[in-house]
Each structure stands twice: as C-alpha cells, then as structure tokens.
C-alpha cells in the first residue's frame, strides 16, 4: 500500500502539469527606438486602451536592459528572440565587415534568395546569418511545425530575425515607387492572396495624400521642445522642421512611398497588416500555439531625424498608442484573455541630440571616425613603417590584416595593445579593449561587459572601443542615433499581458535575453539553442 500511495503522489502532480492550458497565440511587439521614459513622459496623454492597459492590467518590468553593445536594430531583434547576445547569435551589427571575404555583410542579406512580390532585390534576404535558434524556431519544433510563425515589420531585419529559420512567413515594406509588402523565396513562392489584397488596397496612398498634423493641439505638447528648433532634421525640400508636414508635396523629393516610413503612418499600415494576418491566417484558432512577431520601425526613422525631445516623436507615440489599442481591442474581441500572451519591448533606446546636450552644458560630443582612421594610419606608419596593418575600422572596431602581420612575423597581441593605447589618446574615446583580452577573461565592469557580450570571436574585430557618454559619430548635424552601452540606449520598456501573466511591476534588473527564456517557460517548450537568459521571476501567475 505504501508503494501505491507514493506512486499516486508522483502521478497526480504530473497529470495536472501536463494539462496546463497554453496560449493559443503569442504576439511579440517590438518598438524600434523606444526609450523607457517614453512610457512615463507621455503617460498623461496616452489613452486607457494602449500602453496604459498593458501597464495597468499586465506586468511592467521597469528595469529591463540590453546587456551588450552595439545597440542596433539587427542585434536587438536577434537578442530578443534568441535569448542571448551577439557573442553567441552572431548578429554583431546591422552591417559588419566580413574579414574572411573582405567585404560588407548585411545582417539578413542572402544572394541566393529572390524577392517575392516585387522585381527588385529588396527581398534577397533570409535569417541565414543568425547562428542560434529563436523562440519562434523552438515553437515550430515543439509543435511539429503545426504552430504558425509570422514576422512583419517595415524593416526586413525587423521581420526576419524574430521570425527565425522555420517561419511560415516574414513580410517587410518596399518603399520607393513600389509601396508594397514583400517577402523572400526563403519562405514562399508567391504572396498569399490576403497579402496581395492588402497590397492592392494600398493604404499608403491614403496616408501619404494627407498632411501630418499633430493629433492634439500643438500647444498641448508640453513634454517636448518647441516645434521650430535647430536640433531637428528636415525632409528633403522642406524649409523648416515644423508641423504640418505636407506629405503630398514631399513625396517626390523623398523617395515616394519610402516617405511613409518616417511618419506615424508607417506604424498604422503595419497594424493593418497584423490584423489582417490574425484574421486571414486564422492565428490562434486551433490547439497549436501560433506566434505573430510585429516590429514597429517608424519611431526609429522619426527619432533619428528629430530626436527624443521633439514634438514629432511625442506625436508618433500618441498615435502608436491608438494603434496598440486597436490591436488589443481586436484580440480581446476575438479571444479570451488567457488565450493570448503579449509582450512589448524595444530593440534599443536613443541619446538626446548631442548638440542640444552640449548647449546645455551636459557631457556630449561628435566623434570623427574618418579622422580617426587617418590618424591611426599615420601612427602605425610611424611605428611599423607599414601601410597595410589595418583592414577596416567600423562599428567601433578595428580589424587587423592578420596575413600581412604574420608575413612580417609581428606579434598580434603587441599590435592590438599598441592600437588600444593609441585609441585612448583620442578625445571622445572612453575605453578600448583588445580581442585577446576579451578572449582571456570575463569582464565584470558593466560597460566592458556589454562590449564583451557584443563580441563574436569569428566575426568581430581585433580592438573594440567605446565612446564617452553622450558622444556619437560625426555627420549627425541634426537629429541623433544610438548604439552605445549607456543607459539611454540600453534601458527599454518590457511589458507583459495576457495568458499566464499576473498584474504587477518590478524594479529588479532584467536583461533582454530573459524574454525568450520566459516565453519558453510559459509555453513549456525548449529555450533557444544558445539562450543565456533566465525566466523572469514574479510575473507568472
């Protein structure tokens, strides 16, 4: 009897665990270039059904951070969905120097693929450069390919990297004179009829034939700088960076349909595509979990041009809030709350316009990379009487010519150290570290640790350098950029809502790779192959 009793204790908990209901649909939302403070700065102007619903009725990880550099779109999306950092998944930048082929490599470029939906080369893309599985790949494996996975974004990399290697589809937007959603032969031979229908309707024209005016009276945008200020960029042929932006007049001089990417309406056409996908693909309507990965790219284009203190960026987020509300309303109308799991995060933040910071006596500056390359060449010429030691300088990395160095029987580590010391003499450089050092030890310093986790031994350079806080590469006379290991680029929102998620918030430090680990725990499937994240404690029911 005792043996039977013990057996029953084992069987009953296992049976209850096995019967746990899983979400029918996971919706992953990434906002391209969303700092955490956009939640708090614009809070009073958000409606109740978008960002506020996710915060008030879901779980808010208030201290979510990227734990590597460079904080760019490609590495960001890859890290969210692989649950690891560039040192493992291999997407070290949007574009990087290929030291084997001695050319430039775009993160999703695949010359063997063909464009579907257009005659251009914009669809010659795939996830082949991504070296780890994604949480979406693991879902496909766990359901024996019965769960659908679809990725979509204005940007190809924002659709492809989240969708992973086994996706049913990924869609992105081709601008210029095309104005259509396209894909790659990696996924399909032709666009589904419902996508063709969306393309035929072409709502881009509807939005581009109107002026971009503020959603609220412009005097209500008290969280932003004045509309006409010297820190904002211009559309081509525009005389001042002010509302209203006359989109019909700007189309011809701003690459026609590409103009919509740099307006809030880029978010709106993506929302329309997402809702059509849920309906037409019948996502979440069978016993196998489906996954829709949506990445809103327009805030990045707008943020680069105008900066985070602009009325344009505030208006973009107020409009995005309404797009999110429409998505949430649709899901709640068509599903029970415990049938859908939603998370929202960003692929990186952004720094305030450096010139604005400098004018307000805050640390910032502009770093001249072209001058650095010239100065480094002259320095190495004087030290080694050689012109061929460096192959490339890009993405805050110096790539050495190992063949030339070995031919001259020089010590690679000595040259690395020499260049690192030289870099530290340049104004604006905060840190420099060699590949040899990154391979030999694990850095506990947060900034250098971020650099190390962004370092891939086969793809990265031989010396990495980090600019001072507030510094960006020169060439951005107005507007701004991102890519650093500092808080303004690494601290992003992370909101959870729906199936398995309790209401609450936490100030505990979590890292972006924890997202995929948490989803794996919620879906009870294998974590991605190179996952270094851990499930976030406290948000699960």
Alpha-carbon gap, residue 151 to 30, rounded angstroms: 11
If one counts every other C-beta atom within 10 angstroms of the C-beta of residue 376, the result is 19
Query: CA–CA distance from 60 to each of 331, 345, 502 (Å)?
Result: 20, 10, 10
Rounded to the nearest 5°, which phi and psi values hold at 40?
Answer: -85, -40
517/533 Cα distance (integer angstroms): 6
Q: What is the DSSP letter of 67?
A: -
| Alpha-carbon distances of 97 from 348, 415, 457, rounded to whole Å | 22, 20, 13
- 210 an active-site residue? no
Catalytic residue among 71, 73, 316, 418, which? 73
In sign, the C-alpha dihedral spanning 232, 358, 308, 453 is positive
Distance CA 117, CA 139 (A): 27
DSSP label at residue 15: H
Indicate the DSSP class of residue 45.
Answer: G
DSSP string, 225-293: --SS-TT----TT-SSS-SSB-HHHHTGGGTBGGGGGGSTHHHHHHHHHHHHHHHHTTTT-SSS-EEEE
Residue 275 burial by CB count (10 A; 0-12/13-18/19+): exposed, middle or buried? middle
Helix 412-423 with 369-384: angle, nearest 10 deg: 130
**Two tokens, residue 149:** 């996975």
How many Cβ atoms are within 10 Å of 350's Cβ, its own excluded? 27
Angle among Cα 67, 299, 519 to the nearest 5 degrees reads 45
Catalytic positions are: 73
């Amino acid at each position: 009897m005792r043996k039977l009793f013990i057996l029953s204790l084992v069987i009953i908990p296992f049976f209850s665990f096995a019967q746990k209901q899983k979400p029918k649909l996971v919706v992953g939302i990434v906002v391209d270039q969303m700092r955490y403070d956009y939640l708090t700065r614009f809070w009073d102007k958000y409606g109740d059904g978008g960002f506020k619903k996710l915060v008030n009725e879901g779980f808010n990880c208030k201290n979510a951070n990227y734990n590597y550099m460079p904080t760019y779109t490609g590495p960001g999306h890859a890290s969210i969905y692989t649950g690891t950092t560039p040192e493992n998944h291999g997407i070290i930048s949007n574009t990087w120097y290929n030291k084997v082929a001695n050319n430039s490599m775009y993160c999703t470029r695949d010359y063997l693929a063909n464009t579907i939906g257009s005659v251009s080369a914009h669809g010659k893309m795939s996830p082949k450069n991504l070296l780890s599985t994604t949480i979406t790949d693991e879902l496909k494996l766990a359901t024996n390919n019965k769960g659908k996975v679809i990725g979509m974004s204005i940007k190809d990399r924002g659709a492809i990297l989240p969708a992973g290697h086994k996706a049913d589809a990924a869609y992105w937007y081709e601008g210029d004179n095309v104005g259509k959603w396209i894909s790659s032969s990696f996924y399909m031979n032709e666009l589904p009829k419902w996508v063709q229908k969306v393309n035929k309707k072409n709502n881009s024209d509807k939005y581009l034939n109107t002026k971009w005016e503020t959603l609220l009276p412009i005097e209500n945008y008290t969280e932003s700088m004045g509309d006409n200020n010297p820190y904002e960029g211009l559309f081509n042929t525009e005389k001042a960076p002010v509302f209203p932006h006359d989109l019909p007049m700007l189309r011809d001089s701003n690459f026609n349909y590409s103009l919509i990417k740099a307006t809030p309406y880029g978010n709106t056409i993506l929302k329309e595509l997402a809702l059509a996908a849920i309906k037409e693909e019948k996502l979440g309507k069978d016993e196998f979990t489906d996954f829709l990965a949506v990445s809103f790219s327009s805030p990045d284009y707008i943020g680069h041009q105008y900066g985070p203190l602009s009325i344009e960026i505030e208006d973009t987020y107020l409009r995005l809030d309404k797009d999110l509300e429409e998505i949430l309303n649709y899901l709640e109308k068509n599903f029970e709350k415990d049938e859908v799991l939603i998370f929202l995060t960003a692929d990186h933040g952004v720094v305030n316009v450096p010139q604005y910071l400098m004018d307000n006596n805050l640390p910032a500056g502009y770093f001249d990379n072209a001058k650095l390359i010239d100065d480094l060449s002259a320095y190495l010429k004087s030290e080694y009487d050689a012109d061929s030691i460096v192959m490339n300088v890009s993405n805050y990395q110096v790539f050495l010519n190992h063949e030339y160095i070995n031919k001259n029987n020089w010590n690679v580590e000595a040259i690395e150290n020499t260049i690192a010391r030289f870099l530290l003499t340049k104004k604006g450089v905060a840190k420099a570290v060699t590949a040899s050092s990154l391979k030999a030890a694990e850095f506990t310093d947060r900034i250098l640790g971020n650099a190390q986790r962004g370092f891939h031994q086969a793809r990265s350079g031989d010396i990495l350098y980090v600019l001072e806080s507030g510094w960006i590469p020169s060439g951005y006379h107005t507007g701004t950029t991102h890519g650093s290991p500092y808080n303004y680029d690494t601290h992003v929102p992370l909101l959870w809502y729906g199936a398995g998620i309790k209401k609450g918030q936490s100030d505990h430090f979590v890292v972006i790779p924890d997202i995929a680990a948490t989803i794996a725990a919620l879906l009870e499937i294998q974590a991605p192959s190179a996952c270094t994240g851990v499930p976030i404690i406290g948000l699960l029911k």
